[in-house]
Amino acid sequence: MNAPARQTASFLRRRFEQAGVRPRARYGQSFLVDLNLLDILVEAAQLEPHDVVLEVGTGTGSLTQWMAPRVAAVVTVEIDRQLFQLASEELYTLENVTMLQLDALQNKNRLNPAVLDAVWEALDAAPGRRFKLVANLPYSAATPVIGNLLALERAPHSMIVTVQKELAERLTARPGTKDYGALSIWVQSQCEAEVVRILPPSAFWPRPKVESAIVRIVLDPGRRAQIADRALFHEFTRSLFRHRRKLLRGQLLSMMQGQFDKAQVDAVLGAVGLSAHARAEQLDVATMLRLCAACHGQP
């Protein structure tokens, strides 16, 4: 695959100056300008002709242009009106690209329905189509976009994204580590997640102050089927990690107030094989699933 020459720092500076546009820190705008790394991002997505790709953060449209000839459809979303106009000038000839100028998030717990409507329309346009997220995600939107996509009944087959290195470490963290938390469990209870490549600040323009990473997240239907109630499990896990270092016994007594007394909480912990001194940060995904099921009478 040959990289488009235009997505370089020098080109972007000239293009932005001509249009009177400046990158906006409030939207976390940093554009991937290392063309080799952009190539790695696209290759990691393993794009195929039946794929429908959601891109959050159109930017100048460079990644969109790479993907469009390889897939059935691209739905690309840009919150910045000026950037949306710039990208429109590059993408208007691509008939399989749907451009949306809006916030991909309705709020932190829900995706914008207009985005989902566009994705569902593209998926339903022909049989056998497959949903993927491929994006250089704006830093401020990365966590809610990934988390909310996994809450959908029609979750993406895979998500290949650039995010802050700190977030990549949380997505792939193991029990007992400082980065392990509710997001780690939410993702790993449904997916395989791996860091493909660490990206230095020099790979972007403007340069961010932190390192980034390309992360590949692939849905595992078998894991997902083990969660009896995804919404309940998500909230249960988040509640336990609000005070990650407190003892589980006290947290469960507080969460299940009016439902369980101390003896019942001890019985639940014992049934799951946990001591009264266990903490949420020590539990692997399987144990957290068993604990949630035991607390809520699920099989």
Structure tokens at 120: 């569902």
Mean pLDDT value across the chain: 92
Q: What type of residue is 218?
A: V
Of the pLDDT bands very low, low, confident and very high (cuts 50, 70, 90), residue 26 is low
Q: How far is CA 203 from CA 31, 38, 209, 212, 263, in A?
A: 8, 9, 12, 9, 56
Mean pLDDT calculated for residue range 263-279: 93
Structure tokens at 152: 């959908």
Residue 278 has φ and ψ, to the nearest 5°, of -70, 155
Residue 40: what pLDDT? 94
Longest dimension (CA), the chain: 70
Of the pLDDT bands very low, low, confident and very high (cuts 50, 70, 90), residue 2 is very low
Q: What type of residue is 33?
A: V
Identify which has the larger pLDDT, 24 or 108: 108
**CB of 207 closer than 8 Å to CB of 189:** no
DSSP state of 245: T
Q: Which of 68, 120, 67 is nearest to 93 (CA)?
A: 68
Given a cut of 70, whether residue 5 has pLDDT beyond it is no
Helices (H) and strands (E) in the chain, counts: 13, 11
Mean pLDDT calculated for residue range 102-121: 97
Mean pLDDT calculated for residue range 13-41: 79
Residue 137: what pLDDT? 95
What does the angle CA 204 – CA 205 – CA 211 come to, to the nearest 5 degrees? 35
The answer to whether the bond into 206 is cis (omega within 30° of 0) is yes
DSSP state of 14: H
Q: What is the reported pTM?
A: 0.92
Give the whole-angstrom CA distance, residue 215 versus residue 168.
7
Given a cut of 70, whether residue 4 has pLDDT beyond it is no
Q: What is the pLDDT of residues 124-183, one digit of tens each?
A: 999 999 999 999 999 889 999 999 999 999 999 999 999 999 999 999 999 999 999 999
Q: Which CATH superfamily is domain 9-225 in?
A: Vaccinia Virus protein VP39 (3.40.50.150)
Assign domain 230-295 to a CATH class: mainly alpha
Give the orientation angle of helix 262-272 with respect to helix 248-255, to 10 degrees: 120
Given a cut of 50, whether residue 234 has pLDDT beyond it is yes
Q: How far is CA 57 from CA 63, 110, 199, in A?
A: 10, 17, 18
Structure tokens at 187: 């993702």
**CB of 215 closer than 8 Å to CB of 161:** yes
Residue 276: what pLDDT? 85
- All structural domains of the chain with their residue ranges: 9-225, 230-295
Given a cut of 80, whether residue 8 has pLDDT beyond it is no
